[in-house]
Amino acid sequence: MQHSSALSFRDFVDGLRASGDAVFIEREVDSHLEAAAIARLAGERRAPAPVFENVRGAAEGFRLMGVPAGMSSQGNGFSRIAAHFGLHEASGPYEIVEHLVAAMHATPKPPVTVETGPVKENIIRGDEVDLDVFGSPLLHAQDGGRYFGTYGMHIVATPDGKWTSWSISRLMVNDSTSLVGPAMPMQHLGMIHEQWKALGKRTPWAFVLGAPPAAIAAAGMPLPAEVNEDGYIGALTGEAVEVVRTEMHDLSVPANAEIVVEGWIDPERTAIEGPMGEYHGYQFAEGSPKPVFEVEVITHRDDPILPFCVAGMPPEENHTIWGTMISASALDLLRSADLPVSFAWCSYEAATCWIAVSIDLDELARSPWDEGDLVRKVADVLFTSHVGWLVPKVLLVGSDVDITDIDRLVWALATRYRPGTEYVFSDAPGIPLVPYLSAEDRKAGRGGKSIMSLLQPEQLATGRTAGIAAEFTTSFPAELQKSVLENWEDYGYPAARGSESSIP
């Protein structure tokens, strides 16, 4: 059986516990709102991830875990995210994203099929199938139902077997043997479902909870259609993920997953899903019809852990994991197009509604760009991609600003945006979940896209920045800075970290 924080969810949880970044709660906690309330507050306070060992509403021994990829109070705050990829706990945005981009260009390592694994420790079929044993949590008081899948991945394959997709999309409990959730046509899940539907057939389907952390992250990455995420996971971790065959279909699932449900996506049957507190931070009042996912087999580990995300105001898993994977995809696309881009970052605080793009000022010094030309080229790259479908707004920022530091990014937005330098792309396609879209936008699947330039005229023409940031590291002689830092505690202050910029 594979072991590492990237390839085993159980090892990931144990690692968090050992470092003090997970707390195991033994007192009884109700799956009806209480578990979600604790998890939500833990996320907002950057407290350790809660693992609920005694869940009212679940069968004995069945556990829940909240905030699996939340920001941490430890170190630089990114340790829980870094652990998803087996990276050092001190890894920050630059190290994480560059690791993801490098893996996109490494040789894929397809999964290795093994005879069995921990996920087969318990196999439940037919009349014994009962989704209620898991204690799926009610996440918000206004939600339309309990959510089984908020941190799990769908596995489906095309009818010809040439493309297998591992992807993220939520699932609400419909009844004890079925789930309901989105399968939008622009999602890979929806694309493959439509192929089966066109044949008049049900879509063979499996859903995995407690997947290897690197797998759940890769499943949320906007890779191009017809790219198998399972090979990318091997490139990302350096080791092929071990998989076992499902009980019903010619599909493979991670051998050490916590929970797998198997069945079908019905081609016609729908039910009302939601409402649900959403990744963009809003709770709306009504649900809508979505496809029904019929469950005929459940396999799970002993004492399984069901991880969940309490979506809403950032940052939460939709922003930390999904946003990080979007950042890597965007950076790779822009670099591959030979644009003067040094980094891309989907700011967690912006609820996956904008992505900041760092424009390399050294490159501009060598080859200046006209602002309009640069904007149009960025739009051609991003707004025709899955990344651009997901993220509606792009900020172009000079590389003298650390775009991963939200305070500096807001400063740049306030002081460098010139009214009239926002370029609107009303015909670009986009995800209909963006809250400011009109009913017409949602129906058309377009609208609400823009690129905002925060580039100074001098930067575009010469690569030079007009003015420098007035702060500790720039406004005082180096010797005085050194003296102040060395005497900081003597002044009566607690020990503090240095003030050096985090731009690499």
Q: State the sign of the Cα–Cα–Cα–Cα dihedral 218, 224, 229, 231.
A: negative
Contact 229, 254 (CB under 8 A): no
Q: What is the DSSP letter of 131?
A: G
- 324's tokens: 């990080």
Q: Does the annotation place 84 within a ligand binding site?
A: no
Pairing mode of beta strands 259-273, 288-300: antiparallel
Q: Does the annotation place 188 within a ligand binding site?
A: yes
Cβ neighbours, 10 Å, residue 421: 17
- Residue showing tokens 């990237």: 6
Please, which residues have CB within 8 angstroms of residue 324's CB and are 6 or more apart in sequence? 81, 93, 96, 97, 100, 217, 346
Q: Does the annotation place 386 within a ligand binding site?
A: yes
Q: Does the annotation place 187 within a ligand binding site?
A: yes
- Concerning whether 278 is annotated as a catalytic residue, the answer is yes
Contact 94, 501 (CB under 8 A): no
Q: Does the annotation place 219 within a ligand binding site?
A: yes
What does the H/E/C string look like for 340-373? CEEEEECCHHHCCCEEEEEECHHHHHHCCCCHHH
Q: Does the annotation place 65 within a ligand binding site?
A: no
Q: Which of 278, 294, 316, 317 is catalytic?
A: 278
Distance, CA of 190 to CA of 183 (rounded, Å): 4
Helix intervals (H) in 20-131: 34-44, 79-83, 93-104
Vertex 475: Cα angle to 474 and 477 (nearest 5): 85
Please, which residues have CB within 8 angstroms of residue 480's CB and are 6 or more apart in sequence? none
Q: Does the annotation place 166 within a ligand binding site?
A: yes
Please state whether the peptide bond connecting residue 275 to the residue before it is cis, i.e. omega within 30 degrees of 0: yes
Binding residues for Mn(2+): 188, 229
Binding residues for K(+): 166, 218-219, 221, 229
Catalytic residues: 278
Binding residues for prenylated FMN: 170, 187-188, 229, 386
